[in-house]
Amino acid sequence: MFCCPLKMRGLGELRSGMESPTKDILIRDIAKYGGETVTIKGWVYNRRNSGKKLAFLQLRDGSGTIQGVAHVNEMPEEEFQSAAAVTTESSAIVIGVVKEDKRAPSGFELTVTGFELVGEGSNDYPIQPKEHGVDFLLDRRHLWFRTERQRAILRLRDRTIFYLRDFFNKDGFTCIDSPIITGSACEGTSTLFELDYFGRPAYLSQSGQLYVEPACMALGSVYCFGPTFRAEKSFTRRHLTEFWMLEPEVAWQTQDGNIDLQSRMIKSVVGRILENDAELIEQIHARQGEDSGEETAEEVISRLEKARDEKFIRLTYDEALKELERLGEPLTWGDDFGAPHETKLTEEYGVPVFVERWPAKIKAFYMQPDPDDDTYVQCDDLIASGGYGEVIGGSIRIHDSELLLKRIDEHKLDRRAFQWYLDIREYGTVPHGGFGLGLERLVQWLGGVHHIRETIPFPRTIKRLEP
RNA sequence: UCCUCGGUAGCUCAAUGGCAGAGCAAUCGGCUGUUAACCGAUUGGUUGCUGGUUCGACUCCGGCCCGAGGAGCCA
């Protein structure tokens, strides 16, 4: 293993002395090097031999994939034997001539002229190019990354994060990191992970909201983006115990302004994914089984195009109740939506739906009452289209300290724990509001991914702490 | 926490209460254009654990363990 750098250098020198200088390239850029001799450093994810003189090597380097065609006449005999016997997921340095070929999916393949095995794989590589159970794959998450689908999902997650941050950056927001370890259990301890903090109880944060509220009073428009922890015993394909949440908070915010921000943010990300990263959606769904329960890539893309091009629906809670009754999924006033209600609503419109103005009694204590009727609060949930459920929950916050105190008492919360939170309202308070966006649910919706567990590198669920 | 379903070869799954099976992977052999290659052969088993019913249990019954899906709760 430790001799690799030397061997790598040796091979490069040998080759460059013999023929046109080879260049380390990324497979992604292969089209620029037609006819040239290049070096690819990567992994052999599959191999097919045809007779004793020809071997097809499926190569991956993290940027893309390409087929290497190794023929005994084109390369040193010893290196051909090594290539023709290489095991799944071995790493190798492959030198070859880039050739245009209509038979190749990318239009290019590599005529191999040199092959050096770097890290030999084992013959018991567990993940095959076929369907496996989710549990088996999650136990091998560290290897599962290497498959095309998982690489595409991780890329999609990365692009989504980048577009979100870019959107807020261009919209004049400042990123404020909120603490992950918190000292007080603001809304009860049942859904918090407790820590021993030098002998004192502490908790892993389940929201950064209380921390971005003061920050927006300093910087106007802010957001935090980081891991969030929920000890809820939720065990569905939409829940993780550790997930990433983006929480913008805006001073002087209004209900309409809050909805508009959410809508623009989602549309911006969707638009950029469609423009730049549609091939990731194709890759995610390339080897889909018939009973995967997932949309096809075409269905995902057309759903996203609708979200990009059409206005999102805005319904008040009361309007939504009427719609649900009409659609045959009635709900009693004062009850929260269940999954069937969310599905019914977005099926009806085919675009994300905002449900606003919820009954105060089923929402959080800090939400600002509706100016016309204080049995309601100014808030919204955004239900994603396609049955992916709630991706955003937002509200205007109570900015009046007396009202906030009243609510804290009504909810039987400890005033002392909220001292600094109340303090914001003492010094130049203004109406403000924001929302929380669940990153993994957004990625699920953008990619058409059935299980939320695939949308985070190392998922944490009630049952899963490893790897 | 509740409801439903499941646990058989490395993987994905079969098997009226009556010989433990297939495909893939692996190994060996064949093939000069394969695209999750193909063809032939070989290897591979404490049927989750435990107790019971039975001449006989992968199969039926009880208990336990593990997992999945859903509900509730939420992003």
CB of residue A239 closer than 7 A to nucleic acid strand B? yes
Are residues A236 and A324 part of one domain? yes
Are residues A308 and A362 part of one domain? yes
Segment among A102-111, A232-241, A246-255 with least mean pLDDT:
A232-241
The answer to whether the CB of A354 falls within 8 A of the CB of A393 is no
In sequence order, the 6+-apart residues with CB closer than 8 A to the CB of A6 are none
Q: Which helix (H) or strand (E) holds A66?
A: strand A65-71
Q: Is residue A93 part of a domain?
A: yes
Report CA dihedral (A447, A449, A455, A460) to the nearest 10 degrees.
Answer: 160
Q: Would you place residue A325 in the very low, low, confident or very high pLDDT band (cuts 50, 70, 90)?
A: confident
Are residues A274 and A187 part of one domain? yes
Please give the single-letter amino acid code of residue A328.
G
Beta-carbon-side half-sphere exposure of residue A366 (alpha carbons within 13 Å): 20
In sequence order, the 6+-apart residues with CB closer than 8 A to the CB of A381 are A337, A354, A355, A358, A390, A392, A393, A394
pLDDT of residue A189: 57
Are residues A173 and A258 part of one domain? yes
| DSSP string for residues in A416-431 | GGGHHHHHHHHSS---
* Interface predicted TM-score (ipTM): 0.82
Q: What is the CATH number of the domain that holds A50?
A: 2.40.50.140
CB of residue A463 closer than 7 A to nucleic acid strand B? yes
The answer to whether the CB of A66 falls within 8 A of the CB of A39 is no
Distance A57 CA to B70 C1' (A): 43
The answer to whether the CB of A187 falls within 8 A of the CB of A364 is yes
Q: Say which nucleotide is closest to residue A247, CA to C1' distance.
A: B75
CB of residue A330 closer than 7 A to nucleic acid strand B? no
A111-134, pLDDT tens digit by residue?
999 999 998 888 788 888 777 888
Q: How far apart are CA A373 and CA A206, in angstroms?
A: 30
pLDDT of residue A231: 84
CB of residue A107 closer than 7 A to nucleic acid strand B? no
A156-212, pLDDT tens digit by residue?
999 999 999 999 999 999 999 999 998 876 555 567 888 888 998 888 988 899 899
The answer to whether the CB of A313 falls within 8 A of the CB of A351 is yes
A284-323, pLDDT tens digit by residue?
988 776 666 788 888 999 999 999 999 999 999 999 999 9
Are residues A387 and A270 part of one domain? yes
CA distances to A177, A249, A255, A307 from A225, rounded to whole Å, are 7, 12, 22, 24
Distance A241 CA to B6 C1' (A): 24
CB of residue A130 closer than 7 A to nucleic acid strand B? yes
CB of residue A452 closer than 7 A to nucleic acid strand B? yes
Are residues A330 and A202 part of one domain? yes
pLDDT of residue A133: 80
CB of residue A236 closer than 7 A to nucleic acid strand B? yes
Q: What phi, psi does A145 have (nearest 5°)?
A: -50, -30
Are residues A73 and A193 part of one domain? no
Residue A128 DSSP SS3: coil
A344-364, pLDDT tens digit by residue?
888 888 899 999 999 998 888
Distance A235 CA to B3 C1' (A): 13
CB of residue A329 closer than 7 A to nucleic acid strand B? no
Copy the structure tokens of residue A303: 């759903």
Which of A93, A119, A145 is the last residue in one of the domains? Answer: A119
Instruction: Answer yes or no: is pLDDT of A150 > 80.
Output: yes
pLDDT of residue A187: 57
Q: Is residue A128 part of a domain?
A: no
* Number of separate domains in chain A: 2
Exposure string over A416-429, b if 16+ CB within 10 A, otherwise e = eebeebeebbeeeb
Q: How far apart are CA A463 and CA A449, in angstroms?
A: 21
Q: Is residue A404 part of a domain?
A: yes
Q: Is residue A465 part of a domain?
A: no
Q: How far apart are CA A84 and CA A153, in angstroms?
A: 31
Query: E strands of A233-340, at which residues?
Result: 242-251, 313-316
Q: Alpha helices, DSSP H only, in A378-432?
A: 401-410, 419-426
In sequence order, the 6+-apart residues with CB closer than 8 A to the CB of A128 are none
Domain interval for residue A144:
135-455
Copy the structure tokens of residue A418: 């909220």
Q: What share of chain A is helix, strand, coil (3-state, %, to 5)?
A: 40, 25, 35
Distance A91 CA to B54 C1' (A): 56
In sequence order, the 6+-apart residues with CB closer than 8 A to the CB of A14 are none
CA distances to A12, A63, A214, A445 from A307, rounded to whole Å, are 50, 29, 33, 11
**Parallel, antiparallel, or unpaired for β A174-175 and A108-119?**
unpaired
Which of A65, A84, A119 is the last residue in one of the domains? Answer: A119
**Mean pLDDT, range A410-429, rounded to an integer:** 86
CB of residue A246 closer than 7 A to nucleic acid strand B? no
Q: Is residue A129 part of a domain?
A: no
Protein-proximal positions, strand B, CB < 7 A: 1-2, 10-13, 23-27, 30-38, 66-75
CB of residue A129 closer than 7 A to nucleic acid strand B? yes
Q: Is residue A126 part of a domain?
A: no
Q: Is residue A172 part of a domain?
A: yes
Q: Is residue A431 part of a domain?
A: yes
Are residues A252 and A143 part of one domain? yes
Are residues A49 and A196 part of one domain? no
Q: What is the CATH number of the domain that holds A343?
A: 3.30.930.10
Q: What phi, psi does A168 have (nearest 5°)?
A: -70, -35
Q: Say which nucleotide is closest to residue A441, CA to C1' distance.
A: B75
Which of A95, A119, A143 is the last residue in one of the domains? Answer: A119
Torsion sign (Cα): A177, A183, A188, A193: positive
**Mean pLDDT, range A74-89, rounded to an integer:** 91
In sequence order, what are the beta bridge partners of A381? A355, A393
Distance A140 CA to B18 C1' (A): 40
Are residues A242 and A111 part of one domain? no
Which residue is nearest nucleotide B31, judged by alpha carbon to C1' distance?
A51
pTM metric for this prediction: 0.90
**Parallel, antiparallel, or unpaired for β A194-197 and A174-175?**
unpaired
A12-56, pLDDT tens digit by residue?
444 444 444 578 999 999 999 989 999 999 999 989 998 889 999
Q: What phi, psi does A80 have (nearest 5°)?
A: -65, -45
CB of residue A339 closer than 7 A to nucleic acid strand B? yes
Are residues A423 and A339 part of one domain? yes
Residues present in chain A in total: 467
Are residues A422 and A383 part of one domain? yes
The answer to whether the CB of A108 falls within 8 A of the CB of A98 is yes
